[in-house]
Amino acid sequence: MAEVLVFHHGQGLTAGVLGFADRLRQAGHTVHTPDLFEGQVFDSLQEGVAHVEKAGFGTFIARGAAAAEGLPAELVYLGFSLGVLPAQKLAQTRPGAKGAVLVEACLPVAEFGGAWPRGVPVQVHGMDGDPFFSGEGDVDAARALVGTAADAELFLYRGDRHLFTDGGLPSYDAQAAALVTRRVLDFLGRTAQPAKAG
């Protein structure tokens, strides 16, 4: 089974994020869900992003890196929206990564220095009409990643919702979220397979 480090989105470590993590646990995976907001949960994404902007995005990413300390190197990093920042950085820069799942965000690979690491599979999920994911360049970064990384997949879902996988928010889309969950579980099953002897 895989060991997964999950980073929450800009509204905080919500019940919906914890519920998603629990579904991975029910499949037998070990899942860590650090709270990078130190207990704060926001009613809106705008409030959460304003909170991060006040502290600095670098501080948010550093908290994510600190959450990985003491955990095995062989992790799958999973981030939702804002949580993609630490997830993607760790997947690209922390040796030993087993994979990355980037939900509703994707940064240009150059943001964290150079090419996507060899041997690290990645999935990106987002809605095709999401004003953040599709309207702010993330989908373009995801397409570029898929075009250059050896093992990369981009899954687009019909709709214009952001945070559509969080079952506790009005933006939740049960059908799309179920599909994300199934694809992530398939991905984790694949990354947990022992390497074949050469």
Residue 72 near residue 50 (C-beta atoms within 8 A): no
Residue 81 lies in a domain: yes
Residue 109 lies in a domain: yes
Residue 31 near residue 60 (C-beta atoms within 8 A): no
Question: Per-residue pLDDT for the chain (198 aa), expressed as one digit of tens each?
Answer: 999 999 999 999 999 999 999 999 999 999 999 999 989 899 988 898 898 888 888 899 999 999 999 999 999 999 999 999 999 999 999 999 999 999 999 999 999 987 899 999 999 999 999 999 998 999 999 999 999 999 999 999 999 999 999 999 999 999 999 999 999 999 999 997 654 433
pLDDT of residue 56: 85
pTM for the model:
0.94
Residue 80 lies in a domain: yes
- Domain containing 138 equals 3-191
Contacts from 97-100 at CB under 8 Å and sequence distance 24+? 97/73, 98/2, 98/3, 98/74, 98/191, 98/192, 99/2, 99/123, 99/187, 99/188, 99/191, 100/76
Residue 196 lies in a domain: no
Four-CA torsion 106, 176, 118, 75, nearest 10 degrees: 100
Residue 157 lies in a domain: yes
Closest by Cα among 112, 60, 69 to 91: 112
Give me 69's structure tokens: 């300390």
Residue 198 lies in a domain: no
Give the three-state DSSP class for 112: helix
The domain spanning residue 64 has which CATH number?
Answer: 3.40.50.1820
Residue 177 lies in a domain: yes
pLDDT of residue 193: 64
The residue assigned the tokens 């049960």 is 174
Q: How many domains are there within the chain?
A: 1
